[in-house]
């Protein structure tokens, strides 16, 4: 068992996890500003981006880069500085550190070394979108970013179809239409969903409707801004998805092939989705 008090005096430094605004700079807390000004070092996902935030609040604390591509190099350096008594604030470009952003490996290393880790509350896109979505706010299931390839998305979404809680995803604008098409394929056309765009910014927007409606809208319009995608939970998790139920097994396989899968990969995916043996479906598809 490990028991560490966050604010007892210690010879080692503290690691502060500092949320930053997801758009509106007014969402920066007084405590976050004070912490960034008081620490010895700021570990930033993008030092140039964070410097604009520091300049706005007239903070001159030194920065060091800490992102997904230099994690292995930076963690030993940062842990060593903490052990020497220096305090460090870690922040990402927007929102909470570690939530679809860098941070979790550094936290795990600090915890392993018995160092003090202090998390500050602050902005989070997923929860901000959730409470304004109109969907059930609890329970909820946060997933973050799906894989980029269609086959991998289907594989990730298929087990999620049985979730009864509201699901939260993040998506980039140029991938939104394809991701929504994958959701229609797995969750069905009528499942209710919400798209939250440009949260806390001037052009903040919520689009609410069925997955079919939102998918068509995304396909017909130019997407801008980062999106939070919220999908209602499955009220009848043991019932088949209507989008799949409308298609025969052969049609489902052909649909996956049109999305770029090989025949064997499409058969494997459809067999898993419909909970039947792959070998049986292979014979049926090829009429063997």
> Taking CA 272 as the corner, what is the angle to CA 288 and CA 192, rounded to the nearest 5 degrees?
130
Task: Identify whether 2 is part of a domain.
Answer: no
Whether 119 and 22 share a structural domain = yes
Whether 117 and 33 share a structural domain = yes
Whether 134 and 220 share a structural domain = yes
For 122-140, the pLDDT digits (tens) are: 999 999 999 999 999 999 9
Task: Identify whether 19 is part of a domain.
Answer: yes
**Number of domains making up the chain:** 3
Q: Which residues partner with 209 through β-bridges?
A: 193
Helix axes 249-258, 263-274, angle to 10 degrees: 130
The pTM for the full model equals: 0.83
Report the distance separating Cα 16 and Cα 106, nearest Å: 11
Whether 82 and 137 share a structural domain = no
Residue 237: Cβ-neighbour burial (10 angstroms; 0-12, 13-18, 19+): exposed
Whether 119 and 19 share a structural domain = yes
Name the nearest CA neighbour of 54 among 38, 68, 70, 37. Answer: 37
Which domain covers residue 272, as residue numbers?
A: 247-285
For 47-92, the pLDDT digits (tens) are: 999 999 999 999 999 999 999 899 999 999 999 999 999 999 999 9
Task: Identify whether 40 is part of a domain.
Answer: yes
Task: Identify whether 204 is part of a domain.
Answer: yes
Whether 225 and 267 share a structural domain = no
Residue 64: Cβ-neighbour burial (10 angstroms; 0-12, 13-18, 19+): middle
* pLDDT of 188 strictly over 80: yes
Residue 114: CB atoms within 10 Å: 12
Q: Which of 58, 88, 123 delimits the end of a domain? A: 123
Report the distance separating Cα 10 and Cα 85, nearest Å: 8
Whether 35 and 113 share a structural domain = yes
Task: Identify whether 5 is part of a domain.
Answer: no
* pLDDT of 242 strictly over 70: no
Name the helix (H) or strand (E) containing 76: helix 71-83
Whether 109 and 63 share a structural domain = yes
- CATH classification of the domain holding 179: 3.30.950.10
Task: Identify whether 167 is part of a domain.
Answer: yes
Report the distance separating Cα 143 and Cα 131, nearest Å: 16
Q: Which of 84, 105, 123 delimits the end of a domain? A: 123
Report the distance separating Cα 104 and Cα 70, nearest Å: 13
Whether 91 and 18 share a structural domain = yes
- CATH classification of the domain holding 107: 3.40.1010.10
Report the distance separating Cα 38 and Cα 138, nearest Å: 37
Task: Identify whether 6 is part of a domain.
Answer: no
* pLDDT of 29 strictly over 90: yes
Round the average pLDDT of the chain to a whole number and report it.
Answer: 92
Task: Identify whether 3 is part of a domain.
Answer: no
């Amino acid at each position: 068992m490990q028991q560490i008090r966050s604010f007892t005096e210690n010879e080692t430094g503290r690691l502060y996890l500092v949320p930053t605004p997801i758009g509106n700079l007014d969402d920066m807390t007084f405590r976050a500003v004070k912490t960034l000004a008081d620490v010895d070092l700021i570990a930033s996902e993008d030092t140039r981006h964070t410097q604009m935030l520091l300049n706005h609040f007239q903070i001159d604390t030194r920065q060091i880069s800490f992102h997904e591509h230099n994690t292995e190099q930076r963690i030993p350096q940062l842990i060593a500085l903490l052990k020497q008594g220096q305090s460090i604030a870690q922040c990402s470009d927007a929102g909470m550190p570690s939530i679809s952003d860098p941070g979790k490996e550094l936290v795990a290393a600090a915890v392993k070394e018995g160092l003090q880790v202090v998390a500050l509350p602050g902005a989070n896109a997923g929860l901000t979108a959730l409470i304004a979505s109109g969907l059930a706010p609890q329970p909820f299931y946060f997933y973050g970013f799906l894989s980029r390839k269609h086959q991998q998305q289907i594989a990730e979404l298929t087990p999620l179809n049985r979730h009864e809680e509201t699901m939260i995803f993040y998506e980039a604008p140029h991938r939104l239409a394809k991701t929504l098409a994958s959701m229609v394929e797995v969750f069905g056309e009528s499942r209710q969903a919400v798209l939250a765009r440009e949260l806390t910014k001037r052009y903040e927007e919520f689009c609410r409707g069925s997955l079919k409606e939102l998918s068509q809208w995304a396909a017909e319009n130019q997407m801008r801004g980062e999106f939070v995608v919220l999908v209602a939970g499955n009220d009848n998790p043991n019932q088949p998805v209507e989008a799949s139920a409308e298609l025969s097994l052969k049609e489902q396989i052909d649909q996956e092939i049109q999305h770029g899968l090989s025949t064997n990969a499409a058969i494997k995916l459809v067999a898993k989705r419909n909970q039947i043996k792959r070998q049986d479906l292979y014979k049926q598809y090829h009429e063997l």
